[in-house]
Structure 1
């Protein structure tokens, strides 16, 4: 038999809230803080025992998309809750100075993962958010066009959580999929943005390492030279390797792996078998690249792997169909929208087979685009918003707006709107000018 029938059972109710947020990455953090500060009783449900999403569980170790070129000047364009989180990480000594790359067209802020975790907890607690860790969204209970309750699996067993509205920041659109919202997976051709298992290397001799590979693309020049001098000595998963120092240059973050499935396509992050096989493959690739680092790169001979991310870093799985889908042309054309909720400053970053393709806005002096409210509004469910990498975008649009900067923007807008929603009202009917006014009052930059 390929299936079994689970006996019907009654579920204990964990609690009732105005707003339930699922997922504790940048979108979930911003959503929960914003909802609670605007007076909504708020619960954040997180599968791990800490916050940060791919930034901690996936080992990303830098915020991308906070900075963009406007009027010819590189400046921070994502403000609000993101500012507060960065300030708290900085106060713990865990925030690096801005680092530029790609000829000055991108700027990131790297951080210490432990500092991020410790900074995020009090940010939410002081806002009045209740946290439920080690809980996994398992199902929803619908009544007509509304979600009545979220069903979660916990160490205390399967439970239900009631709420007036729900915000899906799971990254995989889990809640939306359970609720029957239409969605797409990957590029629509059986693949998508390839995942990466991140790792960190410590005990590096900083001076020779910085001299050898301190520039953004320098590691790729070394790889090309070694390939030419020692053909076949090492296996490299992709072109476009990223090796950058953390705040302490004795520790470096490494973004070099690329996870395929048995068919050579991007690993499907919502397929349990592929996800399990991908974890194994990621660590195999890490061991191979680390062998190259120790043998070939100055400063790394006595280094050691100090951390492998708790899970493979997922860039793209489900994307919902909302009232508007952010497109690649919106990124390249620096699009503006009447219902803007904030700015995306990251270019298209397409992790294709064996390489990374970068595509930048045509207007180099104004290389940002606005994000529309409509991309958060799920089709067919009145009291559900979706924020983060699983919001309504095309494959190309998502390759840019999946970055943490845009996720902060979407989350803050979703949480603020959720606190505004009246009983039995629809998110599709929200007063957008009133929402925009609240966002601006809270420090967000919309245009």
Structure 2
């Protein structure tokens, strides 16, 4: 249960509580028509000082007796010859191992290896050539409601990538937010219409599909395993920053960190990959690619406020398991709910469950007889207490399925049958 007692719109996957958490530090890389303000604390970085040891050569040799000077000279010559032979051999074996000794006592490599020594690794150019044909430009026109202000017509662009031959495309939710029309520009220059199939606003992911089933896609990406990523691994970001003039732009960098917990303005906490590969407005929704030419992330946001080289990507493993459900149209219930946890239930003398705050007119919920104030305790015959539990069951259903919902109304349990509809 969310400790802030938030209200959720079941169709939008959205926390619609009026008071949002304002203490956030990350900035979405939005479409180039809008920038959201995030608060970024000042950071001060201090370079480490490295002090190399210096051998103490100040000790003076002991004086030898005068009558042994010839012995000393002879011994020195022999020692010098032996030392030279040993030194030459040492240098030979050191150079043979591609190492050199430095005066400060450290061992370096004259020709250091690349970061990734995996035999399956591709060059940056090869990785780009493998993935780029499946990367698309996502152009949208629509309306965005700026939290109480008059809704505004807007246009923008982002990026995305094709995941299968049927023309399904992964991108960010904030790329298609409020979209009335979506056009996709393929890598070969063809422009085709697409429709929004499903999305999760809190995770900032969306699934599109090319509307014309006869369109043959130029390529599809290969999805990798983001769980095996390590800081220091090389990565590429591919997308369309700023405008269509810069389509198919590739930037390179490395994985700066993994498992970064980032809180957004909606209050959602995301587990993200941090990278120093340049991510700019318009890159949103594009792929983050490893050295095998596999997509291991969806580029989504960057730090603002003067910081450079701090971008973030959604790990692809966070999305993989949801591709099937995201490929299905959103099923409409038409309710907004509040989670009632154990503490709230005790305070209000009620069960744990999902409290219906409001019911949308002409929605499946209203047609079934549900009302504001009902407390959902079972969905499809299963006991539920959280918003995520309801979503998981609903997303497993198909259009037209009838789901049994048990609610508590005025202290009595009632059962309603709700027929699921596709949200228009």
TM-score class normalised by the smaller sequence? under 0.3
When Rg is computed on C-alpha atoms for both structures, the one with the higher figure is: 2
More helix by share: 1
What's the TM-score, normalizing by structure 1? 0.23
What's the TM-score, normalizing by structure 2? 0.24
More strand by share: 2
